[in-house]
Amino acid sequence: MSQYPINPAFVAEGKLSDNERLKADSDHLRGTITTDLQDEITGGFNGDNFMLIRFHGMYQQDDRDIRAERAAQKLEPLHNVMLRARMPGGIITPTQWLAIDRFAAEKTMYGSIRLTTRQTFQFHGVLKPNIKPMHQFLHEIGIDSIATAGDVNRNVLCTSNPVQSELHQQAYQWAVKISEHLLPKTRAYAEIWLDEEKVETTEQEPILGDSYLPRKFKTTVVIPPDNDIDVHANDLNFVAIAENGQLVGFNVLVGGGLAMTFGDTSTYPRRADELGFIPLEHTLKVAEHVVTVQRDYGDRVNRKNAKTKYTIDRIGLDNFRREVEQRMGVPFEPLRPYIFTNRGDRIGWVEGIDGKHHLTLFIENGRVLDFPGKPLKTGLAEIAKVHQGDFRMTANQNLIVAGVPSEQKAQIEQLARKYGLIDDSHSEQRKNSMACVAFPTCPLAMAEAERYLPELVTKVEGLLGKHQLADEHIVLRVTGCPNGCGRAMLAEAGLVGRAPGKYNLYLGGDRVGSRVPKLYLDNVGEAEILTALDQLIGRWANERLANECFGDFVIRAGVVAEVKVSKTDFHA
């Protein structure tokens, strides 16, 4: 029996959020999705199914660019779904890539593949008749979308490090094991999408629980010194500790998360805390019981305060640690030393310790499509036809052509240059800028992000050049709403959409992603943002210390206060 009983207010009848009712009534995530698929009156999903499809890796969306036009014609919005694949560690074979390339071209409204900050790919614009065939097609090539959305553990990220090949392989294998261990046990996905027969069982969810988790849950495996998956954005993080090039265990970090709600000061972005070190053999125990503690202590009344970060701030980190230790029957050991020195992807060629070569391609905003003068999608397909290694999607929306033998390096580079996948004109600023999808497909977007970022970066490049800092960069991120998909709340300069053309500007994150920025300007347009950045970049050029990044400078110069404890500092 736990010495920290569950707060009865979280289970009291009539006080649970409606999502808790929805999950409990869903017949372990089945709902009436199968019936809904046959409904030809609407292109969308009805009632609870609108939310339940998220547990199957999909969000219902519509094309917001034509919503008003369709309404004027007395038509419903052009409903479709976005699917996010489950690919722990982001590794995909060339054969699989060619298959998803064809599906995107033939069966989606937009024809693109979207690389995401969750180190996987998304299809956007899949109409209702193509949804079930999409799942069956993915299954045939060894891919699924189980638990990439909804109140479950989602796609497990892993550092894309192609240099330390043996260590990366070990870490990647643990990312896969953690993903599989924390998956829902329900057979709903197989029954609905793959036409497998329903088996009469006493179906239970021993880890996630029959009502699943209070909110979404995100897990990573990271190999220092690279923080390329932004550990502080995630609920649970395993920091690889190696001895003599071999993985021996993990430092465990919990409680990161970036989403917030405008006007609600009980919500805030938060960096992760350290629990301690755990040897390899206890890794799955730790993963399971961090999840079960969050399952039992997370707020099921107010979904805005249901993430792990709020659970920890409510019950205390020491109590959270003690409860995890009690459940897994193993104490955490003292943390092992580690340090993060960078988090961006190393664009271009690197050679691994195994003698193989790896080419990281910068894909602006992760959008793989044939653009005028830059047929990126065709180019990647041509590379996939000859590539002998694998592709690795990164959490920064880029793609690594990994495992290239020396004799094939010139051929791969020639193809990449031919199709615009290598562009030597890309500045460091452009390579270190990122945005979420936002308009026209995301229903939560308040402002542009992906479509706005390229022109914004060009203007910021101009400001850096004006102040003789053209070779420098600021970690710049733009999101269309405060839900955090573009990780603006770990940027040196983060824009968060408030309304069309209006953003909050946050300043003061750092280069390695260990600090949350603070509000500098509220609900302003581009002119005010660029004026402020112009002045601050000018000061940075003239007043900075040696090798001082922009985020560190604005803290030291008193432009914004440092956020040390989000619960008290972020809104102060």
Residue 525 and residue 501 in contact, taking contact as beta carbons nearer than 8 Å? yes
- DSSP state letters, 442-480: -TT-SS--TTTHHHHHHHHHHHHHHTT-TT----EEEES
Structure tokens of 32?
A: 């009436």
- Nearest residue to 307 (alpha-carbon basis) of 316, 319, 297: 297
Residue 119, SS3? coil
**Marked catalytic residue, from 154, 321, 343, 356:** 154
Residue 549 in marked binding region? no
**Marked catalytic residue, from 367, 481, 487, 518:** 481
Measured between alpha carbons, how far is 301 from 211 in angstroms, rounded to an integer?
Answer: 13
DSSP state of 332: P
**Marked catalytic residue, from 377, 436, 477, 498:** 436
**Marked catalytic residue, from 23, 107, 187, 218:** 218
Residue 450 and residue 440 in contact, taking contact as beta carbons nearer than 8 Å? no
Cα–Cα separations (whole angstroms), residue 24 to 133, 210, 215, 217, 278? 28, 7, 14, 19, 34
Please, is 180 exposed, middle or buried when counting C-beta atoms within 10 Å of its C-beta (0-12, 13-18, 19+)? Answer: exposed
- Nearest residue to 98 (alpha-carbon basis) of 385, 369, 366, 370: 385
Residue 494 and residue 475 in contact, taking contact as beta carbons nearer than 8 Å? no
Residue 236, SS3? strand
**Marked catalytic residue, from 30, 114, 442, 498:** 442
Measured between alpha carbons, how far is 447 from 246 in angstroms, rounded to an integer?
Answer: 46
Measured between alpha carbons, how far is 180 from 183 in angstroms, rounded to an integer?
Answer: 5
**Marked catalytic residue, from 485, 487, 498, 549:** 485
Residue 158 in marked binding region? no
- To which residue do tokens 């603070």 refer? 518
- Nearest residue to 76 (alpha-carbon basis) of 84, 65, 86, 68: 68
Is-catalytic flag, 481? Answer: yes
Query: Which neighbouring-strand residues pair with 392?
Result: 91, 400
**Marked catalytic residue, from 23, 54, 216, 356:** 216
Is-catalytic flag, 84? Answer: yes
The beta strand positions in 94-243, using DSSP E, are 113-115, 121-126, 157-158, 219-222, 236-243
- Nearest residue to 225 (alpha-carbon basis) of 287, 164, 165, 177: 164
Is-catalytic flag, 485? Answer: yes
The enclosing H or E element of 246 equals strand 246-254
Residue 442 in marked binding region? yes
- Nearest residue to 88 (alpha-carbon basis) of 165, 167, 146, 133: 146
Is-catalytic flag, 154? Answer: yes
Measured between alpha carbons, how far is 68 from 91 in angstroms, rounded to an integer?
Answer: 40
**Marked catalytic residue, from 23, 30, 54, 84:** 84
Is-catalytic flag, 304? Answer: no
Which amino acid is residue 355, in one-letter code?
G
Is-catalytic flag, 549? Answer: no
Residues belonging to the binding site for [4Fe-4S] cluster are 436, 442, 481, 485
Catalytic residue numbers? 84, 154, 216, 218, 436, 442, 481, 485
Residues belonging to the binding site are 436, 442, 481, 485
Residues belonging to the binding site for siroheme are 485
